[in-house]
């Protein structure tokens, strides 16, 4: 009887605690800025632990980088695919859920047709099972504000477009401003489209539709039509916007940035914030002189800015450009750290990856590097929001010609000192 009474007492004490205890499940967001030379390649991994040792994973590849027709940096598709596959293997990823083409410029989608041909092989089909390809090719012709066909065609686009005329079962869809790529898979992690095909969200949460037949007396550029996304995860906010420009005098691009900046500061800013900000962002249009105008840089107010570039010179504009960098620095309320997907030849090795040395804007690239952002939170983590939000940045080198990794990863702990109030 005495032993039974003791057991009953222990159960009475433990049951309330057991009933209220919650598993400390982990959720992770990884953003790979892949060093592919002059161009863009971003691979996003969103993962959530579930009961019974299960996980839910969503992946999105935004732009596969330049292809074999690139006039400056020749990159066969199999080389780019090998780099992506290595990232997938490192993270236990078995398929790509979303293959997103930000716009039809060669340094962004040049490898697309080649990679799709690789994925179409019988032994590779598993990597793209149920994959959705997102581009702006299939907007409804009834939506006269949208341009249905690409502005630039030729052999490169023909090869890409033909991949949808064969036996492959990939779905091909557009996104509209306001669509969430991660919905309904995550409730606290969102990948929201804020610009697409000449449409941006603006200050009153309506759509700013740019008349694409003629913009200020001229036809639009592919850059004007880029997709842009905000990733939002437990106070961490990230932006990527293809080659969107700011309409700065001397550039060929329309101002697609100002209306988006007004959307950030008037709609997304939370009441407890002094100013809206991004913890991290990929700089528009590789940091060109025509991108990141003053109003947009101030609206973004970034803690970390990543330049995806090949340190090339196009006409009189270096990518990245010192004027663009100066606008980003001036727009940030706290010092902004710069990171790059290229390594200048004149810098000593090893060097500080966030170096703001002038050679990052005037030298010649000799190696590429991946810049990886990792944000990890747990269900019972007491510091999901608030000041001094932390995340990890990892970088490693890639060989100039083969894109193979040639160094071990180096981790850098980043603290964003700005306010991150809960919604």
Query: What is the residue-wise DSSP string for 5-70?
Result: HHHHHHHHHHHHHHHH-----EEEEEEEE---SSS-EEEEEEEEEETTTEEEEEEEEEEE---TT-
pLDDT tens-digit map of 84-120: 999 999 999 999 999 999 998 888 998 999 999 999 9
Matching residue, tokens 């930000």: 102
Confidence at residue 108, expressed as pLDDT on a 0 to 100 scale: 92
For residue 411, pLDDT over 90 is answered with: yes
Assess whether pLDDT exceeds 90 at residue 25.
no
Stretch 366-377: mean pLDDT: 95
Q: Which of 253, 250, 327 is nearest to 287 (CA)?
A: 327
Instruction: Considering only residues 143 and 278, tell me which one the structure prediction assigns the higher pLDDT.
Output: 278
- How many residues are present in the chain? 423
**Closest to 101 (Cα-Cα) out of 32, 154, 41:** 41
pLDDT the model gives residue 312: 85
The residue with tokens 């913009």 is 215
Stretch 239-256: mean pLDDT: 89
Q: What is the pLDDT of residue 4?
A: 56
Q: Are 45 and 84 in contact (CB under 8 A)?
A: no
> What's the confidence (pLDDT) of residue 304?
97
Q: Is the pLDDT of residue 19 over 70?
A: no
Decide: 420 and 388 in contact? Cβ < 8 Å. no
pLDDT in tens, 308-367: 999 988 878 889 999 999 999 999 999 999 999 999 998 887 777 777 888 999 999 999
- Binned at pLDDT 50, 70 and 90, residue 140 comes out as very low
Distance, C-alpha 208 to centroid of its chain:
22
- pLDDT surpasses 50 at 159: yes
In this prediction, residue 5 has a pLDDT band, given cuts at 50, 70 and 90, of low
pLDDT at 150: 58
**How confident is the model over 134-141, as a mean pLDDT?**
68
Higher-pLDDT residue of 349, 248: 248
Assess whether pLDDT exceeds 90 at residue 138.
no
pLDDT at 211: 46
pLDDT band at 70 (very low <50, low <70, confident <90, very high): low
**Residues 397, 369: contact at Cβ < 8 Å?**
yes
pTM for this model (two decimals): 0.90
Rounded-to-integer distance, Cα 320 and Cα 318, Å: 5
Bigger pLDDT: 10 vs 414? 414
Residue 1, pLDDT score: 45
Q: Give residue for tokens 């962002």.
A: 281
Q: How far apart are CA 211 and CA 219, in angstroms?
A: 10
Average pLDDT of the residues in 33-60: 93
Long-range CB contacts (< 8 A, 24+ apart) of 175-179?
175/134, 175/227, 177/201, 177/207, 178/207
**Mean pLDDT taken over the chain:** 85
Element (H, E) at 131: none
Contacts of 283 (CB under 8 A, 6+ apart): 291, 292, 305, 306, 307, 308, 320, 324, 328
Phi, psi of 205 (to 5 degrees): 65, 15
Planar angle of CA 200, 203, 208, nearest 5 degrees: 30
Output phi, psi for 59, to 5 deg. -120, 150
- Contact in structure between 202 and 195 (CB atoms under 8 Å): no
Residue 201 near residue 195, CB atoms below 8 Å: yes
Lowest mean pLDDT among 114-123, 161-170, 287-296: 161-170
* Model confidence band, residue 8 (pLDDT cutoffs 50, 70, 90): low
Give the Cα-Cα-Cα angle 170, 171, 174 (nearest 5 degrees).
140
pLDDT reported for residue 383: 64
Angle between helices 154-162 and 112-119 (to 10 degrees): 20
Q: State yes or no: cis peptide before 13, omega within 30 of 0.
A: no
> For a pLDDT cut of 70, what percent of the chain falls above it?
85
3-state class (DSSP) for residue 95? coil
Q: Pick the residue with more confidence: 307 or 69?
A: 307
The yes-or-no verdict on residue 188 having pLDDT over 80 is yes
Q: Assess whether pLDDT exceeds 50 at residue 223.
A: yes
């Amino acid at each position: 009887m005495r032993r039974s009474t003791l057991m009953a007492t222990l159960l009475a004490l433990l049951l309330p605690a057991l009933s209220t205890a919650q598993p400390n499940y982990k959720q992770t967001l990884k953003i790979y800025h892949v060093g592919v030379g002059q161009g863009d390649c971003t691979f996003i991994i969103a993962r959530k632990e579930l009961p019974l040792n299960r996980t839910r994973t969503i992946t999105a590849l935004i732009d596969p980088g330049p292809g074999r027709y690139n006039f400056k940096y020749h990159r066969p598709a199999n080389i780019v695919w090998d780099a992506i596959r290595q990232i997938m293997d490192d993270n236990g990823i078995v398929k790509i859920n979303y293959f997103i083409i930000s716009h039809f410029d060669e340094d962004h989608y040049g490898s697309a047709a080649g990679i799709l041909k690789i994925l179409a092989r019988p032994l590779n089909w598993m990597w793209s099972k149920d994959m959705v390809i997102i581009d702006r090719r299939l907007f409804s012709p009834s939506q006269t504000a949208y341009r249905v066909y690409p502005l630039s065609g030729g052999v490169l686009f023909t090869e890409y477009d033909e991949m949808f005329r064969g036996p492959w079962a990939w779905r091909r869809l557009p996104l509209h401003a306001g669509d969430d790529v991660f919905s309904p898979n995550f409730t606290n992690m969102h990948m929201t489209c804020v610009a697409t095909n000449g449409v941006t969200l603006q200050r009153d949460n309506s759509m700013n539709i740019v008349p694409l037949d003629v913009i200020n007396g001229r036809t639009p550029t592919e850059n004007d039509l880029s997709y842009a996304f905000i990733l939002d995860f437990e106070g961490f906010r990230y932006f990527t916007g293809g080659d969107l420009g700011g309409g700065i005098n001397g550039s060929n691009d329309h101002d697609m940035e100002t209306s988006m900046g007004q959307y950030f500061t008037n709609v997304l800013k939370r009441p407890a914030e002094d100013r809206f900000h991004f913890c991290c962002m990929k700089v528009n249009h590789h940091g060109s002189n025509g991108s990141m105008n003053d109003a947009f840089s101030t609206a973004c107010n970034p803690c970390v800015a990543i330049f995806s570039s090949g340190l090339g010179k196009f006409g009189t504009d270096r990518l990245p450009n010192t004027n663009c960098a100066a606008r980003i620095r001036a727009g940030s309320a706290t010092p902004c750290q710069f990171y790059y997907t290229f390594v200048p030849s004149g810098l000593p090795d090893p060097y500080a990856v966030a170096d703001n040395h002038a050679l990052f804007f005037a030298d010649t690239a000799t190696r590429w590097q991946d810049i990886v952002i990792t944000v990890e939170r747990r269900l019972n983590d007491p510091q999901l929001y608030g000041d001094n939000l932390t995340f990890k940045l990892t970088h490693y080198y890639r060989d100039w010609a083969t894109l193979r990794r040639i160094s071990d990863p180096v981790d850098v702990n980043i603290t964003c000192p700005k306010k991150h109030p809960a919604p």
